[in-house]
A and B are shown apart, each in its own frame.
Chain A
């Protein structure tokens, strides 16, 4: 445990004889020596590029209709805004709160999630509040994944999973969702599945965890009971952890039900379930998320927390707690945001599907989440003018579409690892958690585009 690290340290301290003037001895100017040492730590090697930085810049042009980043331009529910606006005046909320989560918030989260789990949830030991679900993913991976571990990632994947796993010194092992051929029926996210044998072949004694994302970004798949059982069985067989990213848990559409793998037999003790205030209440800028799980796992995420950011912002946590209580009390009410938002979004989903079909695309109807992916190669767009022929097709397409059609989206190969980008390079992801006027503008563009085609 300690020994390897300390041994290395003590070796170094005995080697400290004479380095003070080494640069003078070697005749090196100090500026030359500076560039030798101001190097980054190895853990971030190769992790510097980021699809969002590139594409949000591109979409920042106000004349572009932005269906790229998962950023709602609809207003959060009024009571959420009201709670927050009252909070600023409360003095104590301007100072530090409890590091692992503001007391009223962890209580509200425990109360909410107890409705789904068989066991009671201890707000102090089994919940951790983090900087967005992103922060929970980071804490889970840093806390539980070691150098040399393997982590199974299902492709396409929310793009941070791979760099976070690599930053922990572990090896990502990829498995793609594959689509069955479809005939006479709309292509649906449920048509994309994992091959159970292929999945089983990815597990071995070095597999520390599998990252599950349901509802799935970008495809919108909502894993069924049977599919989750296959994963659960393998986790139990190989004594593997499950990191379950469920940020879109409330966004499931008619005919579908979100299931928590942590509620399956044998799974509570090996699962970290991650949620997001941003996605729950359409307040992505609040950057509050949470991890729920057994204390023997959560305590390690808590250790990471106390050595990284220590505590999250107080006022937002209090506002979130109050907003949660409002909806916890009316879970069966259609007015409850957990029910009203998916209803609202289903209409937008269907509208977007319709628009993309009009354009001649075959969009994959998502069962959940707020994204739709579609194969854009059918448009046979002339991308010859686009520079950088090494980029995957969808990267070039999105840049071309942003520039020429003033419509932006995200290339799905950004959600693939380097080796398999080609598998998804014809697909582009559109976000539909947008206000009507944004969708109207998108419709205008698509009508004009369709008109130009015929």
Chain B
């Protein structure tokens, strides 16, 4: 065909780092600590819930309600209504989507117009920028900056902060939305109440919508508390709260997510939904509804998965933090999420010339080298930064620690070998 084929909305968004690094990780004998998915199974009650969905009413093989399987929207409304301190209507305030990814896309398409500005906090889950661009929006970046740490002490994600003046300066009359991610991927920061209040006050002042990606809401450690910005005064009416069954129940392959918010916003997401995929698969939704029933029964108790999971994962986190240090990687202790980032500045100083393209950021070259030579796969953190900032933030690598003990042991073996190969 002689005509230009692709639509202009695809300009600049066709590249995908996951494809590249995922491919490399599968080609070499590696311990894969890159992509964020658990390598242990979902909890028994969730598996049973799925099996029940597959074996009970055969009509679950057919379409359900477009905006969400009724038992699921009902339990999401009651479960999150309590958490957000809000009366949530299953029909007006809940939309079930294909993963949180689908909820994000639906929100951007519904609310971001050509020329609208969207404030994105860097480093960011990589889809926020292309989704903004695909909607014709302008991403405006504001960076989480770490303050210097004392010598010998590990950096902490809570040390990475937004400068209030800088943040305020990013708001203009064209700002349509701000996308917040807490707990944050990749740094693992859990935004404090004060930080959320700052964001909230600016959103209200400038009449901006807040899209709050809270997929890791249960994955918080060291007694930290996840706070939903929608629960702050004046925020419910301008916030979309996005969640994920995949991250909540360690079942990323189910691809069930949701958006919660006021009808004035949700009705637009529904319009997008009915003109994009229309329905989500039924059985996965039934399994998630059943799983939430379980959690509602056990909420806050030691038997709750939302209590047990972060307890177990915290131990994996601590194991990884100890192990990574043995080879000179300097992990930043996360308060939440599936991930930690590790500072590779020392490696940058000692081996600055790793193979790679002319202007390829150091962390990408480091990860490729690590995959090829050290049998460990991770993700370079510069993929989570806007293009102009990649060279600046090219000295961190992201590791996923939501992995089985056996995987962490395998990681230890690779690290031991690495340590042995280091010059004394």
One of A95, A164, A309 near B101 (C-beta < 8 A): A309
The reply on A441 being an interface residue by CB < 8 A is no
A97, CB-defined interface residue at 8 Å: yes
In the complex the two chains form, what is the Cα distance from A186 to B258 in whole Å? 49
Query: Contacts A1-B11, A132-B278 given: A143-B6 contact, CB under 8 Å?
Result: yes
B255 close to A (CB within 8 Å)? yes
Q: How far is the CA of A146 from the CA of B136 in the complex (A)?
A: 13
B423 in contact (CB, < 8 A): no
- Which residues of the other chain, B, contact A160 by a CB distance below 8 angstroms? 275, 278
User: Does B192 have its Cβ within 8 Å of any Cβ on chain A?
Assistant: no
Q: Does A44 lie at the interface of the complex (its beta carbon under 8 Å from any beta carbon of B)?
A: yes
CB distance from A283 to the nearest CB of B (A): 5
User: Is A81's CB under 8 angstroms from B205's CB?
Assistant: no
Q: In the complex, A147 Cα to B10 Cα: how many Å?
A: 12
Q: Which residue of B lies closest to A50 (CB)?
A: B274
CB–CB A308/B105 < 8 A = yes
Most chain B C-beta atoms within 10 Å of own C-beta, residue among A36, A99, A278, A283: A283
Interface membership of chain B positions 195-227, coded 1 if the CB is closer than 8 angstroms to chain A and 0 otherwise:
000000000111111000000000000000000
In the bound complex, residues from chain B placing their C-beta under 8 Å from that of A299 are 14
Query: Is B237 an interface position by the 8 A CB rule?
Result: yes
Asked if A42 and B113 make an inter-chain contact with CB atoms under 8 angstroms apart, the answer reads: yes
* Interface locus among A15-23, A330-338, A373-381, A409-417: A15-23
Chain A contacts with B in 267-322, Cβ cutoff 8 A: 269-270, 278, 282-288, 296-297, 299-300, 303-304, 306-316
- Docked Cα-Cα span, A97 to B105, in Å, equals 19
Distance in Å: Cβ of A370 to nearest Cβ of chain B? 13
**Mask of B246-280 contacts with A, CB within 8 angstroms, 1/0:** 10001111111000000011011011101111111
Q: Closest Cβ of chain B: how far from A82's Cβ, in Å?
A: 10
The reply to whether B61 and A76 contact each other, CB–CB distance below 8 Å, is yes
Extra A-B contacts (10), CB below 8 Å, given A81-B61, A85-B55, A285-B282: A5-B138, A19-B171, A41-B111, A52-B66, A89-B47, A95-B251, A95-B252, A143-B6, A270-B1, A286-B281
Given contacts A30-B204, A303-B10, A309-B255, contact A285 B271 (CB under 8 A): no
For the complex formed, measure the closest distance between the CB of B362 and the CB atoms of chain A, giving whole angstroms. 25
Cβ-based interface call for B284 (8 A):
yes
Residue in B closest to A296 when the chains form the complex, CB atoms:
B5
CB distance from A91 to the nearest CB of B (A): 5
Task: Indicate whether A44 sits within 8 Å of B271 (C-beta atoms), given known contacts A38-B264, A284-B63.
Answer: yes
Give complex CA distance A99, B416 in Å. Answer: 34
- Contact digits for A387-418, partner B, Cβ 8 Å, 1 yes 0 no: 00000000000000000000000000000000
Query: Given the complex of chains A and B, what is the CA–CA distance between A278 and B274 in angstroms?
Result: 17
Contact A47 B176 (CB under 8 A): no
Q: Is A243 an interface residue (CB 8 A)?
A: no
CB-CB < 8 A to A48: which residues of B?
267, 270-271
Known A-B contacts A12-B172, A75-B58; the reply to A33 vs B277 at CB < 8 A is: no
List chain B positions with a Cβ less than 8 A from chain A: 1-3, 5-14, 16, 18-19, 35, 37-39, 41-42, 47, 50-51, 54-55, 58-66, 98-99, 101-102, 105, 109-117, 127, 130-131, 133-136, 138-140, 168-174, 176, 204-209, 237-238, 246, 250-256, 264-265, 267-268, 270-272, 274-284
B284 to chain A: which residues have CB within 8 Å?
313, 315-316
For the complex formed, measure the closest distance between the CB of B38 and the CB atoms of chain A, giving whole angstroms.
7
Could you give 10 example pairs across A and B, Cβ below 8 Å? A13-B140, A37-B208, A75-B61, A87-B54, A131-B98, A241-B1, A285-B63, A285-B279, A314-B255, A316-B283
In the bound complex, how far is the Cα of B279 from the Cα of A285, in angstroms? 8
Which stretch (A105-113, A134-142, A247-255) binds chain B?
A: A134-142
Q: Is the CB of A239 within 8 A of B1?
A: yes
In residues 63-78 of chain A, which contact B (Cβ within 8 Å)?
69, 71-73, 75-76
Binding site for B on A (CB under 8 A): 1-2, 5, 8-9, 12-13, 15-16, 19-23, 30, 33-34, 36-38, 40-44, 47-48, 50, 52-53, 56, 69, 71-73, 75-76, 81, 84-85, 87-89, 91, 93-97, 99, 131-132, 134-135, 138, 142-147, 160, 163-164, 167-168, 208, 239, 241, 269-270, 278, 282-288, 296-297, 299-300, 303-304, 306-316
**B residues within 8 A CB of A312?**
98, 255
User: Do residues A310 and B101 form an inter-chain contact, with CB atoms below 8 A?
Assistant: yes
CA distance A20 to B130 in the complex (A): 27
Chain B residues within an 8 Å CB radius of A297: 5
Q: Is the CB of A73 within 8 A of B59?
A: yes
Instruction: State the CA gap A15–B19 with chains docked (Å).
Output: 38
> Is A1 touching B111 in the complex (CB atoms < 8 A)?
no
A30, B276: Cα distance in complex, Å: 33
Q: What is the distance, in angstroms, from A389's C-beta to the closest C-beta of chain B?
A: 27
| A contact residues around B12 at 8 Å (CB) | 1-2, 5
- In this complex, the member of B64, B135, B139, B206 whose beta carbon has the largest number of chain A beta carbons within 10 angstroms is B206
Taking CB atoms, residues of chain B closer than 8 Å to A132 are 277-279
Q: How far is the CB of B215 from chain A (nearest CB, A)?
A: 13
A307 to chain B, nearest CB (A): 5
A44 touches B62 (CB 8 A): no
Contact A53 B62 (CB under 8 A): no
Does the CB pair A22–B173 fall under 8 Å? Answer: yes
Considering the chains assembled together, what is the distance between the CA atoms of A316 and B35 in angstroms? Answer: 21
Which of A8, A43, A85, A134 interacts with B54 by CB under 8 Å?
A85
Closest beta carbon of chain B to A412's beta carbon, Å: 20
B368 CB to closest chain A CB (Å) equals 21
Is B281's CB under 8 angstroms from A285's CB?
yes
Q: How far is the CA of A331 from the CA of B256 in the complex (A)?
A: 34
Q: Name the residue on B nearest A235 (C-beta).
A: B1
Verify B102–A21 contact, CB threshold 8 A.
no
Task: Provide the residues of chain A in CB contact with B256, threshold 8 Å.
Answer: 313
Instruction: Assess the B7–A313 pair: CB atoms within 8 A.
Output: no
Instruction: Report yes or no: A167 in contact with B275, Cβ–Cβ below 8 A.
Output: yes
- In the bound complex, residues from chain B placing their C-beta under 8 Å from that of A93 are 253
Instruction: Quote the shortest CB–CB distance from B399 to chain A (angstroms).
Output: 17
Q: With the chains together, A1 CA to B18 CA distance in Å? A: 24
Across the interface, A316 reaches (CB within 8 A) one of B169, B206, B281, namely: B281
Contacts of A164 on B, CB cut-off 8 Å?
Answer: 275
Question: Quick check: B9 and A20 within 8 Å, CB to CB?
Answer: no
Q: Nearest residue in B to A131 (C-beta to C-beta)?
A: B277
- CB distance A315 to B50 under 8 Å? yes
